[in-house]
Amino acid sequence: MTMSSTDTALEEWAAAWSAGGADRLASIFTDDCVYQDGTMGVLTRGKAELKAFANGIFAAIPDFAVELSSRFTAGPWAGMEWIMSGTHHGDLPGLPATGKPFTLRGASILELSSGQLARCTDYWDMVSFLKQIGAMPSE
């Protein structure tokens, strides 16, 4: 994967999440991809599971958006920092909708394979999310 195709894939990752497009998101991943949201404890294998996870996020947060703030590549690996935002309009597992907006920083580590993303692991702060949506008291 060249530097330009890697940059394109990372930009497309953010654009697909921001557009609410599970099919678009899955299109940049390998068929046997692994997607892990470390914070939520979600591990998906393959495009069908990735799409189901993404559709769940889009249903709960229809205005979900991701903006990349930095990125790097090192051989078959990439990393990115991002800001995600949206409004918690629908239920998430164990978390009823609050209708409140949030904005959080996070990071992802990715494994690259033949011009596509083979693995992605996301890390973000659940406590900040819960405080912003009113599910946990603010300090």
Q: What is the pLDDT of residues 84-94, one digit of tens each?
A: 999 999 999 88
The whole-model pTM stands at 0.93
Pairing relationship of beta strands 42-45 and 101-113 according to DSSP bridges = unpaired
Q: What is the mean pLDDT of residues 30-58?
A: 97
The radius of gyration of the chain's CA atoms, rounded to the nearest angstrom, is 15
Nearest Cα residue to 67 out of 80, 52, 50 = 80
Q: What is the pLDDT of residues 7-23, one digit of tens each?
A: 888 999 999 999 999 99
Specify the pLDDT at position 115.
85
Domains contained in the chain, CATH given:
3-132 (3.10.450.50)
Specify the pLDDT at position 4.
61
